[in-house]
Structure 1
């Protein structure tokens, strides 16, 4: 047997091992256990939002009968209560571990759907490995925020929406009622799919059910309070829009960091910070509209869904991060949904290759974890190395957005294949 033949057999054997369901699921469990352990024991409190903020809100509801989002205004949509309340099922002592168990369970559902999409050829195994690598790169914040649940449901939604638009519409609407950003995925699907009416109807029906339940539980205007609660926020230190202001603070240019006790986050004050915060919403709206116009033109040109939808999902998702005055580290986790969809579309449906955004997302995750949670205090102290890392992360968001826009433009300019 020649060396080439031996090499081919070895590679085939390795590929067989790496695509075996037992190996994939074993890796899934190990990754989640490692991240869960870091969440529980790290002195940097990566689960701080869960154990200090979410648990406090649930204490108010369970012990005092005052429920956020129903009886009082809240920063999150109504369905965000579900995983927070469910985590109290075994008592407050086990709140964090119950949260992590639920997070692992919802991720397992998304992982199972992802692997099922690749049968019988196990074609989605590379995408599954990418997701595990991305979770490790992003670190404990991948499990220690409400975004975990919205992202996992969104992953399932985008993976099924082409073949089962009604189910996809329902799932993405549910995800949007946990954390608002998956509404962008609904918009992309409505724009790009021929079954747009089905998606839209399913999303609206789901929202109507959520609102009806909220009204029955006694909610009123508070059900929509998540829309206005964020409007008064200042410029958060990790926002891409705050990059220049952070370096101005480092240089002693009159900009400083302060802690907002109402919003519970670190923000910036100084020359230009209020303007940047005020411009963030108009810029975000313009970016989303611009992406929507590109998507509309591509649809009018009859571009295939496999070519259009991955870039459209990605562009809209990154726009929500890049032009946002909030830059929380968990936002990076949103990238999993559009990139997994893009990787699967490229593998199964002949869509555009998605390796570049996949690599960029892992780098974004790694820079995010470097900054938060381990060295966040140094960032607040305007440490030069941490500022470079944060700036690099923010620049990569811009590069990823440019890639997605370029992909949309390329889709428009490519002549449709003759039938």
Structure 2
């Protein structure tokens, strides 16, 4: 039996210290949320006003039907009810505690993955140092919990496709996009197992929620009615058009600041068309891909979520939490093709914080400062999406003169066994 190489504790202890220090800073920012530069209370308002309201409705056994701000799959109800497990705290306090716990879970999972033979701690470092770029926003949204399910799904796939599929399905029931993490599963057995268990696990969880709560699909109607959020690519184009005489205006609808006026419907249609085209590109990649490495599922997940993000009608700041988590998973593997993409995600996260909450009034008013900030953030995201897909495509195509068929990455246990046999 081969002994696993010992991991020096230094880097892990350093990451732990940085995590504790940065999360303490994020908590300090949270307590000073009312400061003008931190949004004047707009960041935490969603928890103590909106989430608390939904908690009361969900506590009576129903999803918030006819509430235009409720646009989330039924699994979100479980996350929003979870603070009730800590009755000695206020809802806000309990929510923050559980969010920090999910954050710590992601960091721990990335450290464990990064300390395996042939892996890297860069992923854990990116998550630990990258999340604070969003200031205190991650502590006041439930996207950290969703990202935790997506990260666990990807990291579990190689060792247990069943668990990976179930985690992905549970994440999709909370906020749809984690379904994309299964796009890059290796062909044949792994794909069949992961997708079968995802379907079965998702169906079972959905049935349980449908039995436990009324109106489980109420979110579909409200999601379909959304327009163009001011922070999306289409919203940035319309905001710039205001300087050329476009008569539209910003207004609060469906829980976000959207743009209303002429041609908004056309921009919405164009956005949905681009999303469909992105999905088509991802399917084409899946069909044409011929080489899989241990990093391919990670790279495909990041590329897919990036493409769906930049073509969305809504690019809220918390979307960056998803991208940071997926980029971190990519960097746990030395075979990833997404290292430059991860740097762009970090840059976009920093720009997002400058736009919201620091200068969000400028964005809403459509000033040149606000427009240029959003243009910089969205251009960085668009560049990341294009670069990500191109590098994913190239990494899974056979080299010149090489027609190696697609195959599943071999489990670590098989590789270690081969090494042991070669030594003996």
Q: Judging changes above 3 Å, is the alpha-carbon distance between structure 1 residues 317 and 26 closer, same or farther for their aligned structure 2 residues?
A: same
- Residue 52 of structure 2 corresponds to 55
Show CA shifts across 1:141-192 (max 9, x none).
2222121110112111111212211111111111111111111112333x65
SS of match in other structure, 2:115: coil
Alpha-carbon offset, residue 370 of structure 1: 0.5
Alpha-carbon offset, residue 123 of structure 1: 4.6
The answer to whether residue 299 in structure 2 is matched with residue 311 in structure 1 is yes
- Residue 171 of structure 1 corresponds to 167
The answer to whether residue 109 in structure 2 is matched with residue 124 in structure 1 is no
- Residue 202 of structure 2 corresponds to 207
**More helix by proportion, 1 or 2?**
1
Q: Judging changes above 3 Å, is the alpha-carbon distance between structure 1 residues 193 and 40 closer, same or farther for their aligned structure 2 residues?
A: farther
- Whether contact under 8 Å (1:249, 1:255) holds in the other structure is yes
Task: Give the whole-Å Cα distance in 2 for the aligned partners of 1:34 and 1:274.
Answer: 42
Alpha-carbon offset, residue 276 of structure 1: 0.8
Q: Judging changes above 3 Å, is the alpha-carbon distance between structure 1 residues 123 and 207 closer, same or farther for their aligned structure 2 residues?
A: closer
Q: Could you list the runs of 5+ residues in structure 2 that have no partner in the other structure? A: 1-6, 406-424
- Residue 3 of structure 1 corresponds to none
Alpha-carbon offset, residue 318 of structure 1: 0.7
Alpha-carbon offset, residue 418 of structure 1: 6.3
Alignment of 1:256-295 (within 5 A): 256-260=249-253, 263-295=254-286
SS of match in other structure, 1:267: strand
Alpha-carbon offset, residue 287 of structure 1: 0.8
Q: Could you list the runs of 5+ residues in structure 1 that have no partner in the other structure? A: 1-14
- Residue 40 of structure 1 corresponds to 31
Show CA shifts across 1:18-71 (max 9, x none).
51x232222212222221332232112212211110111112333xx2532689
Q: Judging changes above 3 Å, is the alpha-carbon distance between structure 1 residues 304 and 120 closer, same or farther for their aligned structure 2 residues?
A: closer
Alignment of 1:1-400 (within 5 A): 19=11, 21-43=12-34, 44=39, 45=41, 46-62=43-59, 65=60, 67-68=62-63, 74-90=70-86, 94-119=90-115, 123-189=119-185, 192=187, 194-219=189-214, 222-260=215-253, 263-298=254-289, 301=290, 303-306=291-294, 308-346=296-334, 351-400=335-384
SS of match in other structure, 1:268: strand
Show CA shifts across 1:308-359 (max 9, x none).
333321221011111111121111111123312221122xxxx244321111
Task: Give the whole-Å Cα distance in 1 for the aligned partners of 2:322 and 2:147.
Answer: 6
SS of match in other structure, 2:294: helix
- Whether contact under 8 Å (1:283, 1:323) holds in the other structure is yes
Q: TM-score, normalised by structure 2?
A: 0.85
- Whether contact under 8 Å (1:343, 1:353) holds in the other structure is no
- Residue 399 of structure 2 corresponds to 414
- Whether contact under 8 Å (2:111, 2:124) holds in the other structure is yes
User: In terms of mean alpha carbon deviation, does 80-89 or 174-183 score higher?
Assistant: 80-89
- Whether contact under 8 Å (1:172, 1:186) holds in the other structure is yes
